[in-house]
Structures are given as structure tokens and as C-alpha cells.
């Protein structure tokens, strides 16, 4: 019985992984072809294998600087988000205070506006502040959706931790910062891992705001990619190569946070 269940799960998992990987395989496949080959024929493997698309990205500063710019503002965004969201999530999960429920829901409402609406106001705001075309501007604009998300995710995980753990620690003479960093954080590792990954992900792929707030110095890779659509038609091959490369940093991030996500709760630690 248990054997059979296990197999059903594995079959389901493998089926899903196939479904998940096939479009990515097709993108990687395209990235090693020339445009002519992509449009001319159907082939499971590149017939005229070429590195040219990757070479173009790695040798052209306007391409690879896009990756660097994106990484800079995503990193700023991730750090600021986690630093402000952790204490706030703790407050929401442990205490009630004036307006807590309203504030909590209000945070999420900031994710509910179509970003297209905010382009013009954001543009005006950041021009007034003299922050246009800086990494800080994009990182700050992205806080609007990354902070609420992080607070919600972290609050969910923190609420799963029994309050007795806090009380025991205080009785044992732990100060709040020491308790928070040495006892509490390790308990919600999974939540921190997921929150960090989602901050990275949403900031990394966001296009509209990042494109509006930058022109040259902080131009992100997602905006650079829109260049592949031109009058002479679509540059499918370069886009596929650039798309393949955009997966890499995120895959590295998830590789680093995987232990946090997979380990989760360990009662024995306290």
C-alpha cells in the first residue's frame, strides 16, 4: 500500500517536472540556434550549434551591464525588505495594537493596483527627488510589493511557532534582540528562505516600473531584452540566450536558500 502511494507520487512529480522543463528546454534549445534555423525548421537539437548568441551578450556592455544593474537593485531591495519586514511580522504575529488588522490588510492592498496606473505618478515622484536612473529608485519602488509580501509570508510562519517559546526565553533572561536572532530566526528559517526568494523573484522579473525609472545607468536586463523586438523583426535567438541567462542568478539564490526552506521547524533546538 505504502509502496503504491509512493509510486503514484513519484509519477505525478515526474510528470510535473516534464511539464515544467519542456518550455525551458525549448528556450535553451533556441538559444543555441541562429534566427534562421529557429524560424525555418523544427528540430529537437540545434542542427548548426552556435555560441554566437551568448557571445553577443557577454561582449556587449549594454547587454551584460543589464544583469549587473538588476542584481544591484534586487540585492538592495532584498536586504531592506528583510530588515524591515522581520520585526514587523513579529509584531503582527505576537501583539495586538491600535489598527493592527487594518494595517496588515492595507499592506497587501498595495499589491492590488495594476502597475501601469502608477507609472506616471512614480515618474513624477522620483524625478522630484532627483533619484531617476539610480538603483535606489528601482529598489525603493519595488519595496511597495516586496515588503507586504515578506511581512505576510513571515507572519504566517511566525504564527505557527508557539508563544511559549518566547516566554521561556524571556524567563531564561534573554534580551529581545538576542532571543530574536539566536532562537527565533532559526525556527522560521523556512519562512525567511521563501520570503527572500520571492523578494528576489518579483523584483528580478518586474519590468514596467524598472523600465520607467531608469534610462542608462541603472537599466535592468528585463528592459534591455525588450530591445530584441525591432523593425527588422524579432531577434528570437538572442532573446532565448538572454532568457536562459536570467534564470541563472535565481537558480543560484534558490540553491543557497534551499536548506532554509527544506529544514524548517526543529523542536529539539530549544
Closest separation between CB of residue 51 and other proteins, Å?
A: 20
Single out the segment in contact with other proteins by CB under 8 A; choices: 46-54, 55-63, 76-84: 76-84
Half-sphere exposure of 134 (CA within 13 A, CB side): 10
Closest residue by Cα to residue 77 from 200, 217, 166: 200
Q: Which residue of 47, 124, 127, 182 would you call a contact of other proteins, by CB under 8 A?
A: 124
Handedness of CA 119, 122, 127, 133 (dihedral sign): negative
Q: Which residue of 74, 196, 218, 239 would you call a contact of other proteins, by CB under 8 A?
A: 239
Number of CB atoms found within 10 A of residue 217's CB: 11
- Phi, psi for 234 (deg, rounded to 5): -85, 135
Q: Does 76 bind other proteins (CB under 8 A)?
A: no
Residues 30-49 that bind other proteins (CB under 8 A): 30, 38-42, 44
State the DSSP string of 97-108.
Answer: -TTHHHHHHHHH
Of 59 and 138, CB closest to other proteins: 138
Q: Does 72 bind other proteins (CB under 8 A)?
A: no
Q: Does 152 bind other proteins (CB under 8 A)?
A: yes
Q: Does 16 bind other proteins (CB under 8 A)?
A: yes
- Taking only Cα atoms into account, the Rg of the chain, rounded to an integer number of angstroms, comes to 23
Q: Which residue of 79, 94, 178, 217 would you call a contact of other proteins, by CB under 8 A?
A: 94
H helix or E strand, kind and range, residue 161: none
From CA 70, how far away is CA 65, in angstroms rounded? Answer: 8
Closest separation between CB of residue 94 and other proteins, Å?
A: 6
Residues 167-226 that bind other proteins (CB under 8 A): 188, 190-191, 193-194, 197-198, 201, 204-205, 207, 221-222, 225-226
Amino acid at each position: 500500500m505504502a509502496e503504491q502511494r509512493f509510486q503514484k507520487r513519484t509519477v505525478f512529480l515526474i510528470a510535473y517536472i516534464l511539464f515544467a522543463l519542456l518550455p525551458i528546454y525549448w528556450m535553451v534549445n533556441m538559444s543555441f540556434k541562429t534566427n534562421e534555423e529557429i524560424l525555418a525548421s523544427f528540430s529537437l537539437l540545434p542542427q548548426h550549434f552556435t555560441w554566437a548568441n551568448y557571445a553577443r551578450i557577454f561582449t556587449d556592455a549594454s547587454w551584460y551591464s543589464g544583469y549587473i544593474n538588476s542584481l544591484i537593485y534586487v540585492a538592495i531591495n532584498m536586504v531592506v525588505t528583510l530588515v524591515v519586514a522581520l520585526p514587523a511580522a513579529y509584531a503582527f504575529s505576537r501583539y495586538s495594537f491600535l489598527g493592527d488588522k487594518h494595517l496588515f490588510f492595507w499592506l497587501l492592498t498595495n499589491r492590488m493596483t495594476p502597475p501601469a496606473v502608477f507609472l506616471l505618478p512614480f515618474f513624477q515622484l522620483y524625478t522630484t527627488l532627483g533619484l531617476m536612473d539610480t538603483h535606489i529608485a528601482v529598489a525603493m519602488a519595488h519595496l511597495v510589493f516586496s515588503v507586504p509580501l515578506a511581512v505576510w509570508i513571515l507572519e504566517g510562519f511566525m504564527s505557527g511557532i508557539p508563544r511559549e517559546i518566547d516566554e521561556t526565553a524571556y524567563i531564561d533572561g534573554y534580551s529581545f534582540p538576542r532571543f530574536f536572532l539566536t532562537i527565533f530566526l532559526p525556527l522560521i528559517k523556512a519562512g525567511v528562505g521563501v520570503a527572500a526568494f520571492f523578494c528576489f523573484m518579483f523584483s528580478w522579473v518586474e519590468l514596467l516600473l524598472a523600465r520607467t525609472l531608469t534610462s542608462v545607468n541603472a537599466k535592468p536586463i528585463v528592459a534591455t531584452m525588450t530591445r530584441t523586438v525591432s523593425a527588422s523583426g524579432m531577434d528570437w535567438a538572442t532573446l532565448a540566450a538572454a532568457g536562459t541567462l536570467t534564470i541563472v542568478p535565481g537558480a543560484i539564490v534558490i540553491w543557497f536558500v534551499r536548506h532554509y526552506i527544506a529544514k524548517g521547524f526543529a523542536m529539539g533546538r530549544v
